[in-house]
Chain A
Amino acid sequence: MASLKRSLDSDPFSANISSKVYVRSTKSGKVQKIVREVYLRQDIPCSSRLCQTCIKTAPRDAAGRPTTFVLSEAPAGTSVFPQGHYLVPDTNAFLTAMDLFEQSAAFYDVIVLQVVLEEVRNRSLPLYNRLIGLTKSEDKRFYVFFNEFRLETHVARQEGESVNDRNDRAVRKAVAWYGQHLARTKAKTVPAVVMLSNDRDNLRKAKQEGISACSLAEYVKQLRDGDRLLDMIPESGDQGIVKEKRPGEPLYPEYFTMSKMMTGVKNGLLHQGIFNVSPYNYLEGSIRVPAFPKPLLILGRENINRAIDGDLVVVEVLPKDQWKEPSTQVIEEDTITKNENPDAEETADLVSEKERKALQEEVKRTHNKTTEGHAQPTAKVVGVVKRNWRQYVGHIDQSSVSQSTQQGRKQDTVFVIPMDKKIPKIRLRTRQVAELVGKRILVAIDAWDRGSRHPIGHFVRCLGELETKAAETEALLLEYDVQYRPFPKTVLDCLPKEGHDWRVPENMDDPGWRDREDLRGLLICSIDPIGCQDIDDALHSRPLPNGNIEVGVHIADVSHFVKPNNAMDTEASIRGTTVYMVDKRIDMLPMLLGTDLCSLKPYVERYAFSVLWEMTTDADIVNVRFTKSVIKSREAFSYEQAQLRVDDQSQQDELTKSIRTLLALSRKLKQKRLDAGALSLSSPEVKVQMESETSDPIDVKTKELLDTMSLVEEFMLLANVSVARKIYEAFPQTAILRRHGAPPKTNFDELANQLRVKRGLNLSVESSRALADSLDACVDPKEPFFNTLARIMATRCMMAAEYFCSGTQAYPEFRHYGLASEIYTHFTSPIRRYADLVAHRQLAAAIGYEAVHPSVRSRGKLEAVCKNINVRHRNAQLAGRASIAYYVGQALRGKAAEEDGFVLKIFSNGFVVLVPRFGIEALIRLRDLGDPEPAAEYDAETYTLKTSGSRELTVELFQKVRVKVTDQKDEATGKRGVKMELLSVY
């Protein structure tokens, strides 16, 4: 009987077939045995320009030309390999030191093995993308060698061999093969093939097998600029040694195993969520889990257990007797741990004496009070599901630098204080302390093991001097993950060939005119802030013969230029939004489109996407239609110009009249919206005025509100709502919409209580209408700003609005709480928001202008897009605000201003004051009030802080105070910040 198995012995090609067998566990809990056949080949080129044999069998393109070989024929040498060398890094080398490979000084001619690439992808997608970026870059000469498919380098897993060992062996085998293969080229100087690995076992085996191999540190030392690069080598390399030296007690509790955590979460015994650190107290974190209406508190270093802000963690709820109230005290890391020595590894307790004292006071306070109802459930972190570490911007804590090592190249351990207060200090080893002190630097966290109080990181790069505009702006962009690199060539290639000379075709038979309405005859104008270049929207109105009014909103037709799924579209979808900084704009789309071809500039013809309503004079919509069009804007007004023109009764031309009509209609629309329960919220917004030449900030102004702003706003809202209805009707499952969830009632508990106690006001939150009404009632006849203050605080209790794909929510969930609209989307700013661009494509498909593109229809893809732009949108806002805050600080530099402020929040050892004039808030601590620090009594019931001793004061919530605002640089930390001094209490 012949065997049914494929008999490998008799098959002449049996050597070319191998198989891979492994067990796959799916998310749903299925466990499958997977068998993959691997077909091995010999025509995968080595891609070295030295090689004459591979080029013959190398794959050819359509024109019959072989692919160009990547690795140089004369690669650079090092002190150990003067003949030149190719690098073959293992997975860990890439995972831990990607920054090194991105250096332009070294790391050329690198062979990226397939096994390594796949492992990198499984371990970290961002690093994988960076690595792919490197392999695409022509000058770095990174080549991906498919070692698993090449007959000579294929490695089958041996019995009892772990996957890691097998992969290491595959790397070594590939290195050995490259060595032999290159030797056969008979070139005069054959470059060495060097394996890079930090795994000692792997290095040892390589030595046994006679393969040249280096650890990262050894290799970098061979380079000319070695010392500088040495800092960028991650800590994990030496960790083995460090651990052996000190087998001391671990400081932190061990994490649970992944399977234990998952079981716990599924059974509801443990909870999973994103860990957030309180901005005022670095020892207090919170985590929102579905099982509890209020976030769980995580108090103290031990309970936080090495979680860092943003990590996805699993927590266990503590017994009820350990439940606490959220802290009323400000605890800042730099003040409490100021004197820690980074070199002296913490052999002592985990919780330092000072920290303990700070927490002790907390406990005392909670014990004093019998208000048990206030206690919130607390929890401890038992494991981290996913680290969300990124690169952090910070600066070296000068006090952690020992004087003796200021000179010389000795490696030194220092603390880096991240710019983001929620991130703990990072321990960093560097040889360039002297150069890096006083600079903004970028660091990456490598690890945080149980035995170390602080996480360990490595230096990535230096952004420049502290407080230089370039460094600080870049720091902000990095901190908020804004993509600010220039557009790559592939993106620019997608622009129209004509460049700035592109015109709307004159010939109406041109395909560009297909299905476009000619609206060039309409009196259209745009109204925007001063100096606006990317004009998204323009408006018009005209009376109709039947007495109604036709109103048109015309939006730049970006989707005409940005076709789905090309490089430009991908880039825009990643960027998600344009980011506005005080002195800089980070565009989502290349300048040519944003400020010229798409921008609805005056006096020129432009493609547009128009929404046209017929309205009655009472602003009731009779009908609406959507069309692609060609328009010619008559004028680009600024808000101020438009306002002047409207107010100037002598102006009686058609254009002004039409603006007046629009204004009248917008007032009616707004009233309707407010009647429906739309909220008018507030956040302190200011504008920094810059000197035109040096663009140094000279003054800060609060933004003025003009009628014309509200005019534009109303019609944009109306257009968005109309479009949302239309695309939802056409694509009930995949329309891209924007929702604003009703905030949970508990969000307002604190504020409602504060208003009731301090002002006797009642905040009702049953609906947005009720909230709007009760906010309207929040007035203090003596203090006109009080209403705004209440609105600002109410805004902070809200949820964030978010983009979503209509199939993912039920219709009632579509509601936009703030606008009190059933359905909403973003349509009106496609130049600066990606969501609008998607909405444009969907609308175009909905009106039958173009075929539905698959990317607009795929729910999975849209969900991914929504998720990304939600994050980007949020980051862009934060970056913008941080930029304003920085410039406000700069504008105040060297000046002292006395301003009125309001107490926004009270702690037992300080209070936060908001100065509306500058839109800034700052903390005034008890110790800032006088010397010696006055004693204080804090009454949480009435939100009153009574000080005694060196200064006697009573500070209450919402109180108006007079403060002196200066800008101050903390010499110890090198941080410049706004500093407030309390002058008097009104």
Chain B
Amino acid sequence: MASSQHVLLSPAELAYLHASLSLAPPIRPDGRSPTQFRPLVAETGILPGTNGSARICFADGTEAIVGVKAEVERTAQRSGDETVFLEEGGAGGDDDDEEEEAGQGLEKRKGDASWVEMTVEIPGLRDDDSGTAFLAAMLSEALLADGGFTKRLWINRRFHWKLYLDIILISPPLSYPLPLLSLTTHLALLSTRLPRLKSEGDEDPFFDDDWAAAPYLFPRTSSTNIATAKSTTPAAAIRPPITLLVMAVGNNIIFDPSKEELAVADVALAVSVTGSSPSHYAATGTGEEAGRNLRLLSIRTVDPPSRLTPPGLANAANTAYGPSNGTMGTQKMAEARAAETEAAEGVWRPPRGGAKRMVLGALVQKVLERGGVVDEVLDALEGVDSG
């Protein structure tokens, strides 16, 4: 997709920016290191009426709010599933079995993509605008990619939670909002709680009226209960996905590109990853190897705005300037065309063609690096007090 914003930079400026980002190490306009994120402000629980909510404000002034609402919904019965066993679970025995049962329960659980409904609202855009729809599709793709998320919404064989995610950009879309929306959604899901189930088995669900007792959709693992956290199934420790925007300029990989940086990107990727909770840190001591097990969920190439920028023209080819001034002819025109396709130092040339395989590989590797950027981001978001 075209990340629509027009960048008001001249070809010369673009060429300069591209050149400085191609250096090793790259020099970014705001002085950040290639993996450094811009500072952001985040808070959760801003909408008391929702099951979970968050707000994130980026330093460039873009700001998003996400609210998560859950409703109980009857699961459409598939053929063969109709038999309802009342006794099962109701007759459930001792506490010792509970762990096991929970494990079995997780196996039994099924999820369905229709249990999550996501709407994205960008000011100034219609909600059926292709840009908005694509954003929503990318965000929900990340969420539903591994099918693990919807299993969390399973109540019993007859009922499930239906989750409504309302994602709203409340500032004008100054830069490509995907990372902002993704991080906010991540934070909102982290703070999401669902009422505690009291009924057993396939009964009509019946919930605890105490909100304080409602468990988190993504259970917390605080340092006090590491032991229990370890013993629980790994699925329980998984965090919601995040989708990061990563771009490459030359051989440099740059995280969290600003609007201007994106304007000279050779390749821009939206990479969705998910990671488990940081309990492993404590478990494995302070080793360098510590970090999360990250899983790649999806990669989308994003059409960078750089492709739409006007090309620069080498002085030599410029008919209005330089030695060729005034001498026009078909030969000159052909030369100019040739100049467009050939790289010339200091002349801006919009990137053409797809991403190089090597670059892609390096990019993904960088993202999935243990203890790398993603870990940092996830840690930071986990640190946001959700209450």
Q: Which residues of A contact B (CB under 8 A)?
A: 1, 3-5, 19, 21-25, 29-31, 33, 35, 157-163, 256-260, 262-264, 266-267, 269
- Which of chain B's residues 43-77 have a Cβ closer than 8 Å to chain A? 43, 45-46, 48-51, 55, 57, 63, 65, 70-72
User: Could you tell me if A23 and B86 are in contact, using CB atoms closer than 8 angstroms?
Assistant: no
Kindly state the separation between the CA atoms of A262 and B86 in the bound complex, as whole angstroms.
11
User: Could you tell me if A5 and B43 are in contact, using CB atoms closer than 8 angstroms?
Assistant: yes
- What residues of chain A lie closer than 8 Å to B206, measured between beta carbons? 25, 258-259, 262
User: Could you tell me if A263 and B208 are in contact, using CB atoms closer than 8 angstroms?
Assistant: no
Does B200 lie at the interface of the complex (its beta carbon under 8 Å from any beta carbon of A)? Answer: yes
Looking at B105-113, B209-217, B358-366, B370-378, the stretch in contact with chain A turns out to be B209-217
Query: What's the nearest-Cβ distance from chain A to residue B168, in Å?
Result: 12
User: Could you tell me if B41 and A1 are in contact, using CB atoms closer than 8 angstroms?
Assistant: yes
User: Could you tell me if B203 and A260 are in contact, using CB atoms closer than 8 angstroms?
Assistant: yes
Query: What's the nearest-Cβ distance from chain A to residue B286, in Å?
Result: 32
- What are 22 A-to-B residue pairs whose CB atoms are below 8 Å? A1-B41, A1-B63, A5-B43, A5-B45, A22-B209, A23-B195, A23-B209, A29-B72, A31-B205, A33-B51, A33-B195, A33-B211, A160-B212, A163-B210, A258-B206, A259-B198, A259-B199, A260-B200, A260-B201, A263-B202, A263-B203, A267-B86
- What residues of chain A lie closer than 8 Å to B200, measured between beta carbons? 257, 259-260
User: Could you tell me if B71 and A21 are in contact, using CB atoms closer than 8 angstroms?
Assistant: no
A162 with B210: in contact, given A1-B57, A29-B72 (CB under 8 Å)? Answer: yes
- The 8 Å CB contact of B207, one of A25, A35, A266, is A25
User: Could you tell me if B207 and A31 are in contact, using CB atoms closer than 8 angstroms?
Assistant: yes
A35 with B204: in contact, given A1-B57, A30-B71 (CB under 8 Å)? Answer: no
Kindly state the separation between the CA atoms of A965 and B57 in the bound complex, as whole angstroms.
94
Kindly state the separation between the CA atoms of A163 and B209 in the bound complex, as whole angstroms.
9
Does B102 lie at the interface of the complex (its beta carbon under 8 Å from any beta carbon of A)? Answer: no
Q: Give A37's nearest chain B residue, CB to CB.
A: B48
User: Could you tell me if A263 and B204 are in contact, using CB atoms closer than 8 angstroms?
Assistant: yes
User: Could you tell me if B203 and A259 are in contact, using CB atoms closer than 8 angstroms?
Assistant: yes
Does B355 lie at the interface of the complex (its beta carbon under 8 Å from any beta carbon of A)? Answer: no
- What residues of chain A lie closer than 8 Å to B57, measured between beta carbons? 1
Kindly state the separation between the CA atoms of A3 and B384 in the bound complex, as whole angstroms.
13
User: Could you tell me if A29 and B86 are in contact, using CB atoms closer than 8 angstroms?
Assistant: no
User: Could you tell me if A33 and B49 are in contact, using CB atoms closer than 8 angstroms?
Assistant: yes
Kindly state the separation between the CA atoms of A266 and B199 in the bound complex, as whole angstroms.
15
- What residues of chain A lie closer than 8 Å to B45, measured between beta carbons? 5
Kindly state the separation between the CA atoms of A25 and B72 in the bound complex, as whole angstroms.
10
- Which of chain B's residues 61-104 have a Cβ closer than 8 Å to chain A? 63, 65, 70-72, 84, 86, 90
A23 with B208: in contact, given A33-B50, A259-B198 (CB under 8 Å)? Answer: yes
User: Could you tell me if B43 and A23 are in contact, using CB atoms closer than 8 angstroms?
Assistant: no
Q: Give B69's nearest chain A residue, CB to CB.
A: A33
User: Could you tell me if A19 and B86 are in contact, using CB atoms closer than 8 angstroms?
Assistant: no
User: Could you tell me if B212 and A159 are in contact, using CB atoms closer than 8 angstroms?
Assistant: yes
- What residues of chain A lie closer than 8 Å to B41, measured between beta carbons? 1
User: Could you tell me if B86 and A263 are in contact, using CB atoms closer than 8 angstroms?
Assistant: yes
Query: What's the nearest-Cβ distance from chain A to residue B380, in Å?
Result: 16
Query: What's the nearest-Cβ distance from chain B to residue A23, in Å?
Result: 4
Kindly state the separation between the CA atoms of A698 and B72 in the bound complex, as whole angstroms.
69
Q: Give A160's nearest chain B residue, CB to CB.
A: B212
Query: What's the nearest-Cβ distance from chain A to residue B169, in Å?
Result: 15
17 additional A-B pairs beyond A33-B50, A260-B199, beta carbons within 8 Å, are A21-B48, A21-B211, A22-B211, A23-B207, A25-B206, A29-B72, A160-B212, A257-B90, A257-B199, A257-B200, A257-B203, A259-B206, A260-B86, A260-B201, A263-B86, A263-B204, A267-B86
Q: When A and B form their complex, what is the total count of cross-chain residue pairs whose Cβ atoms lie within 8 Å?
A: 91
- Which of chain B's residues 26-53 have a Cβ closer than 8 Å to chain A? 41, 43, 45-46, 48-51
Smallest CB-CB A-B distances: 6 pairs: A259-B206, A259-B199, A263-B203, A35-B48, A21-B211, A23-B195
- What residues of chain A lie closer than 8 Å to B213, measured between beta carbons? 160
- What residues of chain A lie closer than 8 Å to B212, measured between beta carbons? 21, 157-161
Query: What's the nearest-Cβ distance from chain A to residue B86, in Å?
Result: 6
User: Could you tell me if A19 and B71 are in contact, using CB atoms closer than 8 angstroms?
Assistant: no
Q: Which residues of B contact A (CB under 8 A)?
A: 41, 43, 45-46, 48-51, 55, 57, 63, 65, 70-72, 84, 86, 90, 195, 198-214
Query: What's the nearest-Cβ distance from chain A to residue B152, in Å?
Result: 16
Kindly state the separation between the CA atoms of A980 and B74 in the bound complex, as whole angstroms.
62
A266 with B204: in contact, given A19-B48, A33-B50 (CB under 8 Å)? Answer: yes
- What residues of chain B lie closer than 8 Å to A163, measured between beta carbons? 209-210
User: Could you tell me if B204 and A29 are in contact, using CB atoms closer than 8 angstroms?
Assistant: yes
Query: What's the nearest-Cβ distance from chain A to residue B161, in Å?
Result: 9
Kindly state the separation between the CA atoms of A262 and B199 in the bound complex, as whole angstroms.
11
User: Could you tell me if B90 and A267 are in contact, using CB atoms closer than 8 angstroms?
Assistant: no
User: Could you tell me if B86 and A264 are in contact, using CB atoms closer than 8 angstroms?
Assistant: yes
- What residues of chain B lie closer than 8 Å to A266, measured between beta carbons? 204
Query: What's the nearest-Cβ distance from chain A to residue B49, in Å?
Result: 6
Kindly state the separation between the CA atoms of A1 and B56 in the bound complex, as whole angstroms.
10
Query: What's the nearest-Cβ distance from chain B to residue A831, in Å?
Result: 48
Kindly state the separation between the CA atoms of A381 and B162 in the bound complex, as whole angstroms.
35
- What residues of chain A lie closer than 8 Å to B86, measured between beta carbons? 260, 263-264, 267, 269
User: Could you tell me if B209 and A24 are in contact, using CB atoms closer than 8 angstroms?
Assistant: yes
- What residues of chain A lie closer than 8 Å to B205, measured between beta carbons? 29, 31, 259
- What residues of chain A lie closer than 8 Å to B195, measured between beta carbons? 23, 31, 33
- What residues of chain B lie closer than 8 Å to A160, measured between beta carbons? 212-213
User: Could you tell me if B46 and A4 are in contact, using CB atoms closer than 8 angstroms?
Assistant: yes
Q: Give A28's nearest chain B residue, CB to CB.
A: B72
- What residues of chain A lie closer than 8 Å to B214, measured between beta carbons? 23
Query: What's the nearest-Cβ distance from chain B to residue A754, in Å?
Result: 41
Kindly state the separation between the CA atoms of A256 and B89 in the bound complex, as whole angstroms.
13
User: Could you tell me if B50 and A22 are in contact, using CB atoms closer than 8 angstroms?
Assistant: no
Kindly state the separation between the CA atoms of A163 and B198 in the bound complex, as whole angstroms.
15
Query: What's the nearest-Cβ distance from chain A to residue B320, in Å?
Result: 47
Between A159, A263, A267, the greatest number of chain B beta carbons within 10 A of the residue's beta carbon is seen for A263
Query: What's the nearest-Cβ distance from chain A to residue B174, in Å?
Result: 15
Kindly state the separation between the CA atoms of A23 and B84 in the bound complex, as whole angstroms.
27
Kindly state the separation between the CA atoms of A23 and B211 in the bound complex, as whole angstroms.
6
- What residues of chain A lie closer than 8 Å to B198, measured between beta carbons? 259
Q: Give B195's nearest chain A residue, CB to CB.
A: A23
Query: What's the nearest-Cβ distance from chain B to residue A124, in Å?
Result: 19
Q: Give A159's nearest chain B residue, CB to CB.
A: B212
A5 with B46: in contact, given A22-B209, A258-B206 (CB under 8 Å)? Answer: yes
Kindly state the separation between the CA atoms of A258 and B49 in the bound complex, as whole angstroms.
28
User: Could you tell me if B48 and A3 are in contact, using CB atoms closer than 8 angstroms?
Assistant: no
Q: Give B74's nearest chain A residue, CB to CB.
A: A29
Kindly state the separation between the CA atoms of A160 and B211 in the bound complex, as whole angstroms.
10
Query: What's the nearest-Cβ distance from chain A to residue B74, in Å?
Result: 8
Kindly state the separation between the CA atoms of A163 and B208 in the bound complex, as whole angstroms.
11
- What residues of chain B lie closer than 8 Å to A21, measured between beta carbons? 48, 211-212
Between B55, B70, B200, B209, the greatest number of chain A beta carbons within 10 A of the residue's beta carbon is seen for B209
Kindly state the separation between the CA atoms of A162 and B201 in the bound complex, as whole angstroms.
24
- The 8 Å CB contact of B204, one of A1, A24, A157, A259, is A259
Query: What's the nearest-Cβ distance from chain A to residue B297, in Å?
Result: 29
Q: Give B56's nearest chain A residue, CB to CB.
A: A1
- The 8 Å CB contact of B72, one of A30, A159, A269, is A30
- What residues of chain B lie closer than 8 Å to A257, measured between beta carbons? 90, 199-200, 203
Query: What's the nearest-Cβ distance from chain A to residue B334, in Å?
Result: 55
Query: What's the nearest-Cβ distance from chain A to residue B212, in Å?
Result: 5
Kindly state the separation between the CA atoms of A1 and B45 in the bound complex, as whole angstroms.
16
- What residues of chain B lie closer than 8 Å to A263, measured between beta carbons? 84, 86, 199, 202-204
Kindly state the separation between the CA atoms of A455 and B41 in the bound complex, as whole angstroms.
63
Query: What's the nearest-Cβ distance from chain A to residue B343, in Å?
Result: 43
- What residues of chain A lie closer than 8 Å to B204, measured between beta carbons? 29, 259, 262-263, 266
- What residues of chain A lie closer than 8 Å to B48, measured between beta carbons? 19, 21, 35
Q: Give A264's nearest chain B residue, CB to CB.
A: B86
A35 with B49: in contact, given A23-B210, A258-B206, A264-B86 (CB under 8 Å)? Answer: yes
User: Could you tell me if B203 and A3 are in contact, using CB atoms closer than 8 angstroms?
Assistant: no
- The 8 Å CB contact of B43, one of A4, A22, A262, is A4
Kindly state the separation between the CA atoms of A160 and B199 in the bound complex, as whole angstroms.
19
- What residues of chain A lie closer than 8 Å to B51, measured between beta carbons? 33
Query: What's the nearest-Cβ distance from chain B to residue A167, in Å?
Result: 12
